Amino acid sequence: MQDTPKTRLHVDSPLAEGQAIGLDHERAHYLRHVLRLERGDAVAVFNGTDGEWLAVIDGFGKGWCSLTVQARRRAQQDGPDLWLLFAPIKRGRIDTVAEKASELGASRIWPVFTRHTDPHRVNMDRLRANAVEAAEQCERLSVPDMPEPVQLHKALADWPAERVLFLCAESGSARPVAEAVRDFAGRPAAFLVGPEGGFAKSELDDLSKLPFVVPVGLGPRVLRADTAVFAALACWQALVGDWTASGGDARPPFRAAEDARGQPI
């Protein structure tokens, strides 16, 4: 029987049986002093291409930890093709956006500057760390791709024509989000959420003219930008994304089987 891994880590190394992995100072410290793991303990590792593997701690040293990869737990599977573009918001809330978008399965999380965006800088290292930690915790098989922030018009200049961009528009004409995402089921998708100050009217007008843009409404209330992100991603997942899966892909892996009333068997 396989050991139950004590934690789950995203690593950059290739994963195959017998492969050695060295962890940096921060992760070595986390395993040893925070989780109090020991030599011989098992952890799960994934790298976004080779699936998820069981690895065993070989040893700790001053500022390092080495693991040996043993057996594959899960084959790699592609997650949904769902991008999030969002105008940066203040610290705390932006961290939550990275964390929740990762949990909600976004494949790309991309800060874009719009006319009324307030923060003019984004700490991408911190944002990426939040997204990776969420990916480890929620049992994704990959971490979201997180490009450097750009001006919105730059992100749109090379836009792939087949990807529909749902523009979350707090004003102007927009289709109800559920109706719009259903119409584009099966297409690569992206959501764009504006800053706390909202989009400029001219921005919304210009965006609406682009052939791949579909303005959508998230109901009759004005949502905070972070709330709009979570609502939009959850809506897409529930209607056309991986929340619609059935069978083994419908539930988080490695959980005890339950009967129809949710009781452990």
Return residues touching ligand SAH (CB under 6 A): 168-170, 193-194, 196-199, 217-219, 221-223, 225, 228
The size of the chain, in residues, is 265
Task: Identify which of residues 48 and 194 has a Cβ nearer to ligand SAH in the complex.
Answer: 194
CB of 218: closest distance to ligand SAH in angstroms?
4
Burial 152-183 (b: 16+ CB within 10 A, else e): beebbeeeeeeebbbbbbbeeebeebeebbee
CB of 145: closest distance to ligand SAH in angstroms?
22
Task: Identify which of residues 15 and 229 has a Cβ nearer to ligand SAH in the complex.
Answer: 229
Phi/psi of residue 194, each to 5°? -80, 180
Amino acid at 149: P
Task: Identify which of residues 117 and 130 has a Cβ nearer to ligand SAH in the complex.
Answer: 117
Handedness of CA 238, 243, 246, 252 (dihedral sign): negative
CB of 93: closest distance to ligand SAH in angstroms?
11
Task: Identify which of residues 105 and 194 has a Cβ nearer to ligand SAH in the complex.
Answer: 194
CB of 165: closest distance to ligand SAH in angstroms?
12
- The Cα-based distances of 251 to 38, 76, 95 in angstroms read 31, 16, 26
User: Whose CB is nearest to ligand SAH?
Assistant: 194
First-to-last alpha carbon distance for the chain, in angstroms, is 19
Pseudo-torsion of CA 153, 240, 104, 215, nearest 10°? 30
CB of 79: closest distance to ligand SAH in angstroms?
24
